[in-house]
């Protein structure tokens, strides 16, 4: 969540991943509910400097695809806590 150019980082991961390897991911990001997304967008500019550059509102599946990966499995859910900060994506991509 704190990498400034996440697509470039994912492309580099893709480049160095051994043939047949998988990217395992667990990342918080953009929630599915419009009201929560509005809060994520409001809070991110304030939250980023307080949390070391953390983005609350990144579209994780899109970033993974833009990095050259194909998602094989993805689980999406809220963890306990404020919804704007706890929507999590986890799974694998190749």
Is the Cβ–Cβ distance between 91 and 74 less than 8 Å? yes
> For position 1, what pLDDT does the model report?
85
Question: What does the pLDDT read at residue 76?
Answer: 98
Model pLDDT for residues 9-40, shown as the tens digit of each residue: 999 999 999 999 999 999 999 999 999 999 99
Spell out the residues 6+ positions from residue 29 whose beta carbon is closer than 8 angstroms to its own. Answer: 1, 55, 56, 57, 58, 59, 60, 87, 88, 89
Query: What is the arrangement of strands in the sheet containing 71-78, beginning at the earlier edge strand?
Result: 23-28, 87-93, 71-78
pLDDT of residue 39: 98
Task: Note the pLDDT tens digit of each residue in 64-83.
Answer: 999 999 999 999 999 999 99
Q: What is the pLDDT of residues 81-90, one digit of tens each?
A: 999 999 999 9
pLDDT value at position 43? Answer: 97
If phi > 0 it is left, if psi is from -120 to 50 it is alpha, else beta; for residue 68 that is left
């Amino acid at each position: 969540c704190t990498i400034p150019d996440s697509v470039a980082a994912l492309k580099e991961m893709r480049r160095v991943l051994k043939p047949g390897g998988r990217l395992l991911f667990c990342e918080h990001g953009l929630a599915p509910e419009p009201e929560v997304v509005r809060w994520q967008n409001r809070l991110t500019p304030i939250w980023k400097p307080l949390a070391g550059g953390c983005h609350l509102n990144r579209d994780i599946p899109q970033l993974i695809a833009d990095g050259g990966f194909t998602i094989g499995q993805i689980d999406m859910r809220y963890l306990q806590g404020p919804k704007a900060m706890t929507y999590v994506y986890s799974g694998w991509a190749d």
